[in-house]
A = this chain, B = another copy of it.
Amino acid sequence: MSTQNPVFIPGPTNIPDEIRKACDIPTLDHRSPAFARIFKPAIAGVRRVLGMDQGEVIVIPSTGTGGWEAAVTNTLSPGDTVLTARFGMFSHRWIDLCQRHGLNVQVIETEWGMGAPVAEIAAALSADTAHSIKAVLVTHNETATGVRSDIAGVRAGLDAAAHPAMLFVDGVSSIGSMPFDMAGWGVDIAVAGSQKGFMLPAGLAILGVSPKALNAMENATLPRTFFDFRDMLKSYATGGYPYTPPVGLIAGLAKAIELLEEEGLEHVYARHHRLAEATRRAVGAWGMTPCAATPELYSDTVTAVVVPQGCNGTDLVQLAASKYGVAFGVGLGEVAGKVFRIGHLGMLSDVMLLSGLATAEMCMADLDWNVQLGSGVAAAQEYLRNSADVALAQAA
């Protein structure tokens, strides 16, 4: 029997009923004014969630990976230099994408568990007096390690060096769940997806694009058609879309923003922080630690839990799925086996989280890890009940 347990993967996230219904609509003519009545509020809402004060929002039937490709192909030309750091699977993949597109990728290798190396980036920018670096690429929230990077710090490095490079940020697993300040941080392209903080099914790449990036678009020679911002913006201007848009997902995006703003973005971020902190309390009670090296790096959307010596995080993930019907994330790349990941983002309540923590504990006991049943749950309960916001629950 289907049990409809929540998922605890770091995306796609649990989809609220209201969003499922908003996505599930009869066919309408995307060339009629009905489309613009759905699309415009979605676009306007994304601006608010990204913290944009200028520039444009682009929405493409694609995924985060497609969003990255769109960012790169619309603004860069073969042989251009970009600066980035590798400290997890998703930063690694972005490097790979750039290399496949013929860019010259200057990589700062960084330990997994650390965030974007702000000082090294600043140094590299200072050293680039010729301004050959066209863009700095940073993963805001590295989903593989549960690490949040300091985007404001990267911006400070750019400013200190008075470097004209664009700043591209992968916010796929942070936007809509953790504060994001595109204007304040001077981000030129922010990339989000539908299936994380926006609580939708996968299928949309969502980008915020600054005027500087829009300028770069005019001279960029990497080939693109499907992802071409120029076609997008030309069509948007008349309430249209350059090809058949996924109307249901876009209607769902508008509804997602409505739900986020009904709760209040600050409230949403505070809820994510509480759930993340409760998770970390449980991790501590289990005698384990997050993969993120220091508290400033802790992600509020995913915790990669370092498992004890001799234990294998993947075993836990497989047992949770096969025995209890619950999905956690395995460790990827360099931390495969060394961690398991608890996603705590999107549509998630205290009560749902506790069911995930309780399940993880049962798996630990099943696997003979040295953990006491109820210990992590109790630590999380104590934190949650003392930090609960009654109004929030009442609004539930």
Given A322-B394, A323-B393, A385-B365, is A351 in contact with B359 using a C-beta cutoff of 8 Å? Answer: yes
- Residues 1-54 of A contacting B (Cβ, < 8 Å): 1-5, 7, 9, 11-18, 20-21, 23-32
- Copies of this protein chain in the complex: 4
Q: Does A354 contact B (CB under 8 A)?
A: yes
Given A15-B26, A17-B25, A63-B243, is A358 in contact with B349 using a C-beta cutoff of 8 Å? Answer: no
Q: Does A350 contact B (CB under 8 A)?
A: yes
Residues of the B chain whose Cβ atoms lie less than 8 Å from the Cβ of A31? 9, 329-330
A379 to chain B minimum Cβ distance, whole angstroms, is 8
Given A62-B226, A378-B373, A393-B323, is A3 in contact with B349 using a C-beta cutoff of 8 Å? Answer: yes
Q: Does A202 contact B (CB under 8 A)?
A: yes
Residues of the B chain whose Cβ atoms lie less than 8 Å from the Cβ of A126? none
Residues of the B chain whose Cβ atoms lie less than 8 Å from the Cβ of A73? 223
A225-B352 in contact (CB<8A): no
Contact of A373 among B271, B382, B394 (CB under 8 A): B382
Contact of A223 among B100, B244, B358, B385 (CB under 8 A): B100
B365-A358 in contact (CB<8A): no
A374 to chain B minimum Cβ distance, whole angstroms, is 3
Question: Of A64-72, A154-162, A182-190, A211-219, which stretch is located at the interface?
Answer: A64-72
A378 to chain B minimum Cβ distance, whole angstroms, is 3
- Residues 368-385 of A contacting B (Cβ, < 8 Å): 372-375, 377-378, 381-382, 384-385
Q: Does A234 contact B (CB under 8 A)?
A: no
Q: Does A195 contact B (CB under 8 A)?
A: yes
A322-B201 in contact (CB<8A): no
- Residues 319-374 of A contacting B (Cβ, < 8 Å): 321-327, 329-330, 347-352, 354-356, 358-359, 361-362, 365-366, 372-374
A253 to chain B minimum Cβ distance, whole angstroms, is 13
B20-A24 in contact (CB<8A): yes
Q: Does A101 contact B (CB under 8 A)?
A: yes
A-B contact pairs, 28 of them (CB 8 A): A3-B351, A4-B14, A4-B17, A9-B31, A20-B24, A21-B21, A29-B327, A61-B63, A62-B226, A63-B243, A64-B244, A78-B223, A96-B225, A100-B223, A223-B223, A226-B227, A322-B390, A323-B394, A325-B349, A325-B394, A326-B351, A350-B359, A354-B358, A358-B358, A358-B377, A373-B377, A374-B377, A375-B378
